Amino acid sequence: MNDMTPSREQREAALEGMGCKRKRVEDIRFTQGKGKYVDDIKMPGMLHGDFVRSPYAHAKVTKIDATEALKIPGVIAVLTAEDLKGVNLAWMPTLAGDVQMVLADGKVLYQNQEVAFVVAEDRYIADDAIQLIEVEYEELPVLVDPFKSMDPDAPVLRPDLEGKMEGAHGPRKHHNHIFNWSVGDEDATDKAFAEAEVTVKEMISYHRTHPSPLETCQCLASMDKVNGELTLYGTFQAPHVIRTVASLLSTIPEHKIHVIAPDVGGGFGNKVGAYPGYICSIVASIVTGQPVKWVEDRMENLSTTSFARDYHMTTEIAAKKDGTVTGLKVHVLGDHGGFDACADPSKWPAGFFNIVTGSYDFPVAHLSVDGVYTNKAPGGVAYRCSFRVTEAAYCIERGMDVLAQKLGMDPADLRLKNFIKAEQFPYNSALGWEYDSGDYHTAMHKAMDAIDYRGLREEQKAKQEAFKRGETREIMGIGVCFFTEIVGAGPSKNCDILGVAMFDSAEIRIHPTGSVISRMGSKSQGQGHETTWAQIIATEIGIPAADIMVEEGDTDTAPYGLGTYGSRSTPVAGAAIALAARKIRAKAQMIAAHMLEVSEFDLEWDIDGFQVKGNPEARKSMKEIAWAAYNAPPPGIEPGLEAVSYYDPPNMTYPFGAYFCVMDIDVDTGVAKTRRFYALDDCGTRINPMIIEGQVHGGLTEAFAIAMGQEISYDEMGNVMGASFMDFFLPTAVETPHWETDHTVTPSPHHPIGAKGVGESPNVGGVPAFSNAVNDAFGFLGSTHIQMPHDAWRVWQVAKNLGAHG
């Protein structure tokens, strides 16, 4: 070896592999305004589509007259449900087994529902036409309160389902009932409650909100009638599924549909489903023979495509006097809006809400969920969470605080007492999951020490005394949350979307010079896959990440995958990447053995190549092997060096974390100030710590928004109240707290690289931490539970009602 030979450390650093804070590849184009998002794409002869929408929440549509609109020069067509019926597309299937109107078919079920689709030469002309389309409505009684959905005299929202007492998920007990889903041992749970020393019961609501990515939903459909091929660019989190659905609905063969998700400006669950805009654009392009672009505006986005949450959770916990929990009982009333369009795996009408036992060793539990229709927009997507997991985490984390208060126990101590112990993993929960790995006590103690938890409690006590003496108008809350997520959907034995199993995939091809192209079935919307996927490959096959190109989103070139949501990319696609890379390494070992004229078994892997055991100077780098793979493969072995892997995970992964929020609240203004927020995450093996922490910051900011003000609410007429950024709270840099991040590492035992996924943890864990802080602040004044969101007006009202204003 001469002095120029790089050291092992230098060779390792040159890879920029797993564990490295690699700077992002994507940023080069994004910082120069050279990203390519859907609305940046133009095609010759492109038309623009836009919707006429209903001003009413519930009404019959008796007449649609587009005569005047069609007179405007540049207006090409106006589509209504009657036109769509000709191609059997007036209704479309939802991911939840229901059907949804694409355009109003005789009635509307929520405000801003799509009534007609205008196609025009530009967006301005389309808007002009909308103003001139006359629609006659006959108003119907509006149903807004989900607790009244199943009243005997509640209006019939879905005449199309009249008389159908069997839904996609079993029997329906009322004309506005969608499903009941029950899990767990009801008798054993009842027995635990009958024998309990202490019980608590609280109705905990998680209000309706919206993922609201900065880029709205949009698409560009182009039908090539000569070749019978459809190209569809769109803001899709799951482009391959969109292609399959488009093929099934349109009867265009799947290989003649080209779905492409280019750069996507955030998703957070909003861009998983299929929306009327997509269907109408495709139909309009088929009808006109020209490309048709549809771009949602912000009001349309907030009021029609995919709300999240809206779960009302009656939560009961049974316990011993010493705090040991003995049973959990939860009933959920889910408000699904006018159609059940929840984006859950098909067999899971309430997603994975049965993770509701959380991080605690409940011997028995029972869960029952009823979904109902109301005159609100459909959706029920997982807003930066795995299917209904954030609702479950909020339910149990709020519930544990309610129990702690009743017992007079510290909420952190109550959690420590009931945690599943490290030696209990893999742990089978009372509601049917097998938790893969965890070390909750270590994480909790690390977090409590980091923030000086006991010291904060002393300070809080002193402040409460001072408040009672009238020396201060400020109260202090300490929000504790210890969440367990369930992500990485999922094993084909229990997870599919419209019959498509929820595997994911990777394809890796090494070129002769040792550079790499790789493609995955996942689709980044800001997660930085072009950066991190290359890091996994770099570590696995010893080629620098800088020489590895990652592509996603083009269904013609990428292998089939179920896309990116529910923190599933790293657990599923990430595993496929590692396994595809290992196939390449296995072949490379044979080639290296041939090159070095030794047996394969005499070789060992070392960072970026194979070396002879005991003689590390006899080695072949991966780059050398790549050249040989094409040009001098061993006899009998086919040339080339590439692999594909489809990964069906054996289990979900279970990331967890300990979050603490310290808040000071002015009782006279209701202003709650976050003094400190500490987030410890355990997502198993960490691929890129910089990106993990960036995701935690972003998810915490979303959690802050949801807990402290963000809401889609409706008045009694069904008018949507939060449909612009004037009303819908998105925090700016001024309100957003400073985030402190920390971690422990408990790898997943069943994942090839031990990674669990992290993107959604901060949203799941952040919301209870904020809400518990507000509740904790007011607890000493006698409140047990305060509903979210905790904006200043509501907090002020709470203070007033508790007599804090004197």
Partner 1 sequence: MSEIEQIPVTMTVNGKKVQRFVEPRTLLIHFLREDLNLTGPHIGCETSHCGACTVDMNGMSVKSCTLFAAQANNAELTTIEGMANADGTLSALQEGFRQMHGLQCGFCTPGMITRAHTLLQENPDPTEEEIRFGIAGNLCRCTGYQNIVKAIQYAAAKLNGRDYQEAAE
- β-bridge pairing 379-381 and 307-319: parallel
Shorter beta-carbon distance to partner 1: residue 33 or 470: 33
Shorter beta-carbon distance to partner 1: residue 213 or 722: 213
Cβ-in-10-Å burial (0-12, 13-18, 19+) of 187 comes to exposed
Nearest Cα to Cα of residue 534 among 508, 557, 554: 508
Q: In the bound complex, what is the minimum distance in angstroms from residue 74's beta carbon to partner 1?
A: 9
Shorter beta-carbon distance to partner 1: residue 269 or 345: 269
189's enclosing H/E stretch is: helix 186-194
- C-alpha dihedral (739, 740, 741, 742), degrees to nearest 10: -160
Q: How far is CA 404 from CA 111, 442, 536, 664, in A?
A: 42, 21, 43, 21
Alpha-helix residue ranges (DSSP H) falling in 210-264: 239-250
Q: In the bound complex, what is the minimum distance in angstroms from residue 127's beta carbon to partner 1?
A: 10
| Interatomic CA distance for residues 59 and 141, integer angstroms | 8
Q: In the bound complex, what is the minimum distance in angstroms from residue 639's beta carbon to partner 1?
A: 39
- β-bridge pairing 59-65 and 107-108: antiparallel
Q: What is the DSSP letter of 728?
A: S
| Interatomic CA distance for residues 329 and 332, integer angstroms | 10
Report CA torsion sign: 575, 579, 584, 586.
positive
| Interatomic CA distance for residues 508 and 645, integer angstroms | 9
The half-sphere exposure of 24 on its side-chain side, counting CA atoms within 13 A, is 17
Shorter beta-carbon distance to partner 1: residue 404 or 720: 720
- Peptide bond between residue 426 and the one before it cis (omega within 30 degrees of 0): yes
| Interatomic CA distance for residues 347 and 450, integer angstroms | 42
Nearest Cα to Cα of residue 390 among 180, 265, 178, 204: 204
Nearest Cα to Cα of residue 48 among 121, 103, 129: 121
Please give the residue ranges that form the binding site for partner 1 (CB under 8 A): 21, 23-24, 26-35, 37, 39-40, 42, 71-73, 123-124, 128, 132, 212-216, 263-266, 268, 295, 297-298, 525-528, 690-691, 693-695, 697-702, 724-726, 730, 732-734, 736, 738-739, 741
Q: In the bound complex, what is the minimum distance in angstroms from residue 240's beta carbon to partner 1?
A: 20
Shorter beta-carbon distance to partner 1: residue 181 or 565: 565
Coil, helix or strand at residue 1: coil
Shorter beta-carbon distance to partner 1: residue 318 or 723: 723
How would you list the strands of the sheet with 615-621, edge to edge?
A: 603-606, 609-612, 615-621
Q: How far is CA 269 from CA 217, 306, 483, 525, in A?
A: 11, 8, 20, 10
- β-bridge pairing 672-682 and 739-743: parallel
Q: What is the DSSP string of 91-151?
A: EEE-TTS-EEESS-SSEE-STT-EEEEEEESSHHHHHHHHHH-EEEEEE------GGGTTS
| Interatomic CA distance for residues 535 and 369, integer angstroms | 42
Q: In the bound complex, what is the minimum distance in angstroms from residue 156's beta carbon to partner 1?
A: 37
Shorter beta-carbon distance to partner 1: residue 250 or 564: 564
Shorter beta-carbon distance to partner 1: residue 386 or 527: 527
- C-alpha dihedral (517, 518, 523, 524), degrees to nearest 10: -60
Coil, helix or strand at residue 221: strand
Calculate the CA 704 to chain-centre distance.
Answer: 16
Q: In the bound complex, what is the minimum distance in angstroms from residue 735's beta carbon to partner 1?
A: 9
- Cβ contact 521:504 at 8 Å: yes
Shorter beta-carbon distance to partner 1: residue 23 or 441: 23
Q: In the bound complex, what is the minimum distance in angstroms from residue 378's beta carbon to partner 1?
A: 22
- Cβ contact 679:762 at 8 Å: yes
Phi-psi region of 534 (alpha: psi -120 to 50; beta: other; left: phi over 0): alpha
Q: In the bound complex, what is the minimum distance in angstroms from residue 725's beta carbon to partner 1?
A: 4
In sequence order, which residues have a C-beta less than 8 Å from that of residue 615 and are 6 or more positions away? Answer: none
Q: In the bound complex, what is the minimum distance in angstroms from residue 33's beta carbon to partner 1?
A: 2
Instruction: Give me the count of residues in the chain.
Output: 806
Q: In the bound complex, what is the minimum distance in angstroms from residue 355's beta carbon to partner 1?
A: 25
Residues annotated as catalytic (active site), given as ranges = 237, 384-385, 760
Shorter beta-carbon distance to partner 1: residue 340 or 702: 702
Shorter beta-carbon distance to partner 1: residue 379 or 438: 379
Q: In the bound complex, what is the minimum distance in angstroms from residue 273's beta carbon to partner 1?
A: 19
Q: In the bound complex, what is the minimum distance in angstroms from residue 69's beta carbon to partner 1?
A: 10
Q: In the bound complex, what is the minimum distance in angstroms from residue 769's beta carbon to partner 1?
A: 14
In sequence order, which residues have a C-beta less than 8 Å from that of residue 555 and are 6 or more positions away? Answer: 239, 240, 243, 257, 258, 259, 260
Nearest Cα to Cα of residue 480 among 397, 601, 602, 591: 397
Shorter beta-carbon distance to partner 1: residue 40 or 715: 40
Q: How far is CA 589 from CA 267, 604, 620, 638, in A?
A: 41, 9, 10, 14
Q: Which residues of 541-556 are buried (b: 16+ CB within 10 A; e: fewer)?
A: bbbbbebbebebbbbe
Shorter beta-carbon distance to partner 1: residue 52 or 486: 52
